[in-house]
């Protein structure tokens, strides 16, 4: 019995059980939707956002078909291919080699990366937190926004949802994993002075910049203030810097770590400039900077509520971290609070303010919150151990009371979001035959005309480019939507319709489940020839 109890209370068992629990909750809505698919339809394994999910699937399809550079699958205008998002092309090649569908590979990767991210976070907590490590990890996993009426604060942003964020978009999970690993290596370098840890962090930096630039930006944002505080502490300590151990060392002993971290920052800033330069090559890549400037969210009204119940304790823990004079704890303090302080200046930095909370803030939040709770407990113990115990139990109950409604809302909201049977979410099984026909008879990058929702999923399963299909990646989207609707209503003159197709380099017209209800007969019979004609889909080319 004692041996069994030891196993159940071990660090490894605790990590496995709690991690499997949160990942199981993450997968529950997906499994529910798969089971919910009606006869003759299959759930498209949609994750997070329909438009973006099919965009990622389209890029994977490009990679599986031999591409190494990203080509926008949702606009017919000429543009330069780019390395931006090309990791999805590489993922498509892996999917093809494994013989798995792109969607299955996508979900496997996000779950694997989510697990590795949680493992790295647990390692960080075990090695650099001296206080209630299991509690810290548990709070990190389940830290949730407070409810704002019938919805949580910042319910519009997936990154604050404890169930969604543990296995979010693959590139976001890779960014979170690499960010945590970088922080571990930089702390180890500062603690030991061993160059290998700095080298590991430097090797990770270009990968982090390429896959998820905001994570590198957060790291570069918090390192200078951390070093600044360390230098200030050096002067306060009479010319000696206080390292991780808390013991005073001669200033010469810490010059190397400080110089090493400054070198890392210089390399990181160079990589940021390089990534920004990739957005200077025209549409669609040039629009990212414009997006960044426009996307300013109401964080001033909702962020504190989104950080939730733990935030007041993190404030106390933050003070404790700075007073400790330890580099690792000061870095944790800056990790949480420096990005928050920069939020009002986001427009001047030409970035979206949401980028400033994409550095996994709930991990430093949990570490600092536990430090704050322990500080309160120590203070109460001076008066009464019973009072301290009662307050601890009360805090635990309050955490459950504040957290459970958010977790419950999250599961219900995820299931509700894709429960209606929409044609682009639950695909007609017969569409696969039309897809096979297209892939067999038309070359890569065949420009295809369909309505918006069809155009969104077509490149994910065929070697086509949609004339319209994504609000972010279709050039002149508003103008095109109007003309596409007119075309499928059969309201253009034959000559006008022909010129429309020729001028826009459209080879294939797709009249499927979304288009046939708009106009039930054959489209423009004088100029269009059906090459595939079934109840669910008719494909046309110009005569």
Most confident of 200-214, 234-248, 343-357: 200-214
Looking at residue 543, what is its pLDDT? 86
106 closest CA partner among 38, 198, 171: 171
Q: Does the pLDDT at position 246 exceed 60? A: no
pLDDT of residue 2: 56
Question: What pLDDT, in 10s, does the model give residues 335-379?
Answer: 999 999 999 999 888 889 999 999 999 999 999 999 999 998 888
d(CA 477, CA 283): 13
Whether 15 contacts 138, CB under 8 Å: no
What average pLDDT does the segment 198-219 reach?
96
Check residues 349 and 22 and name the one with the higher pLDDT. Answer: 22
Residue 235 scores a pLDDT above 60 = yes
The answer to whether residues 371 and 316 touch, using CB atoms and an 8 Å cutoff, is: yes
Mean pLDDT of 241-253: 49
100 close to 129: Cβ distance less than 8 angstroms: no
Nearest to 285 by CA among 54, 79, 52: 79
Instruction: Annotate 23-70 with three-state secondary structure.
Output: HHHHHHHHHHHHHHCCCCEEECCCCCCHHHHHHHHHHHHHHHCCCCCE
Give per-residue pLDDT as tens, 379-401: 888 888 888 788 888 888 988 99
Mean pLDDT computed over every residue of the chain: 91
Provide the token pair at 179.
């960010």
Among 322-331, 397-406, 420-429, which range has the highest average pLDDT? 420-429
Question: Using CA atoms, how far apart are residues 521 and 285, in angstroms rounded to an integer?
Answer: 39
CB 308 within 8 Å of CB 340:
no
What's phi and psi for 261, nearest 5 deg? -70, -35
Task: Give the model's confidence band at 290: pLDDT under 50 very low, under 70 low, under 90 confident, else very high.
Answer: confident
Two tokens, residue 459: 């490149």
Q: Which two tokens stand for residue 540?
A: 């046309």
Q: What is the pLDDT of residue 114?
A: 98
Backbone phi and psi for residue 84, each to the nearest 5 degrees, phi listed first? -60, 130
Mean pLDDT of 451-470: 96
- Give residue 127's pLDDT: 82
Residue 78 pLDDT exceeds 90: no
Question: To the nearest whole percent, how much of the chain has pLDDT over 70?
Answer: 94
Taking residues 485-503, what's their average pLDDT? 95
Average pLDDT value for residue range 437-455 = 96
Taking the C-alpha atoms of residue 194 and residue 217, their distance in angstroms, rounded to an integer, is 25
- pLDDT (0 to 100) of residue 7: 55
Average pLDDT over residues 512-520: 94
In this predicted structure, the answer to whether residue 517 has a pLDDT above a threshold of 60 is: yes
pLDDT in tens, 295-339: 888 999 999 999 999 999 999 999 999 988 889 999 999 999 999
Please identify which residue in the block is written with the tokens 């009002």: 344
Q: How confident is the model at residue 79 (pLDDT cuts 50, 70, 90)?
A: confident
529 vs 276, residue with greater confidence: 529
Contacts of 531 (CB under 8 A, 6+ apart): 441, 539, 540, 541
Radius of gyration of the chain (CA): 27
Instruction: For residue 536, give the H/E element and its range.
Output: none
pLDDT of residue 255: 74
The pLDDT assigned to 284 comes to 76
Region 446-462: what's the mean pLDDT?
96
In the 8-state DSSP scheme, what is residue 145? Answer: P
Residue 396: predicted pLDDT: 86
Please give the Cα distance from 202 to 162 (Å, whole number). 30
Angle between helices 385-417 and 11-36 (to 10 degrees): 30
DSSP letter for each residue of 313-360: HHHHHHHHHHHHT-HHHHHHHHHHHHHHHHGGGTGGGTS-GGGGG-S-
Residue-level length of the chain = 543
Range of lowest pLDDT (148-162, 277-291, 426-440, 479-493): 277-291
């Amino acid at each position: 019995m004692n041996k069994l109890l030891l196993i159940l209370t071990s660090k490894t068992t605790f990590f496995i059980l709690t991690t499997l629990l949160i990942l199981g909750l993450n997968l529950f809505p997906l499994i529910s939707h798969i089971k919910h698919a009606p006869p003759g339809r299959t759930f498209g394994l949609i994750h997070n956002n329909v438009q973006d999910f099919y965009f990622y699937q389209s890029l994977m399809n490009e990679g599986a078909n031999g591409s190494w550079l990203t080509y926008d699958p949702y606009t017919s205008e000429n543009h330069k291919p780019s390395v931006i998002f090309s990791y999805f092309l590489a993922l498509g090649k892996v999917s093809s080699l494994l013989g798995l569908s792109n969607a299955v590979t996508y979900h496997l990767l996000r779950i694997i990366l989510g697990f590795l991210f949680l493992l790295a976070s647990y390692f960080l907590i075990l090695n650099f937190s001296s206080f209630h490590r299991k509690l810290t990890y548990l709070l990190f996993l389940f830290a949730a926004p407070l409810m704002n009426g019938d919805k949580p604060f910042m319910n519009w942003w997936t990154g604050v949802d404890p169930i969604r964020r543990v296995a979010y978009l693959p590139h976001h999970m890779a960014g979170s994993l690499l960010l945590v690993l970088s922080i571990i290596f930089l702390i180890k370098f500062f603690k030991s002075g061993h160059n290998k840890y700095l080298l590991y962090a430097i090797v990770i930096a270009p990968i982090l910049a390429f896959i998820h630039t905001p994570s590198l930006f957060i790291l570069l944002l918090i390192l200078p203030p951390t070093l600044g505080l360390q230098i200030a502490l050096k002067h306060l300590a009479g010319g000696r810097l206080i390292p991780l151990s808390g013991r005073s060392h001669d200033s010469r002993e810490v010059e190397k770590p400080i110089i090493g971290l400054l070198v890392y920052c210089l390399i990181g800033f160079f990589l940021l400039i390089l990534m920004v330069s990739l957005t200077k090559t025209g549409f669609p890549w040039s629009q990212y900077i414009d997006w960044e400037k426009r996307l300013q969210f109401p964080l001033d009204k909702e962020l504190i509520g989104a950080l939730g119940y733990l935030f007041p304790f993190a404030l106390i823990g933050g003070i404790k971290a700075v007073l400790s004079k330890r580099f690792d704890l000061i870095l944790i303090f800056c990790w949480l609070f420096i990005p928050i302080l920069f939020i009002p200046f986001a427009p001047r930095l030409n970035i979206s303010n949401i980028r400033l909370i994409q550095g996994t803030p709930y991990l430093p939040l949990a570490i600092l919150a536990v430090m704050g709770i322990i500080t309160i407990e120590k203070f109460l113990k001076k008066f009464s151990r019973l009072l301290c115990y009662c307050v601890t139990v009360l805090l635990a109950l309050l955490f459950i009371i504040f957290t459970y409604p958010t977790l419950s809302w999250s599961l219900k909201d995820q299931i509700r979001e894709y429960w209606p049977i929409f044609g682009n979410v639950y695909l007609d099984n017969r569409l696969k035959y039309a897809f096979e026909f297209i892939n067999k008879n038309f070359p890569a990058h065949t420009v295809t005309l369909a309505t918006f929702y069809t155009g969104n999923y077509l490149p994910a399963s065929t070697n086509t480019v949609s004339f319209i299909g994504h609000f972010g990646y279709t050039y002149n989207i508003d103008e095109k939507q109007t003309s596409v609707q007119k075309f499928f209503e059969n309201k253009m003159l034959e000559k006008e319709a022909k010129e429309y197709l020729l001028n826009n380099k459209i080879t294939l017209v797709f009249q499927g489940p979304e288009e046939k209800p708009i106009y039930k007969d054959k489209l423009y019979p004088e100029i269009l020839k059906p090459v595939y004609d079934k109840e669910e889909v008719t494909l046309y080319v110009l005569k």
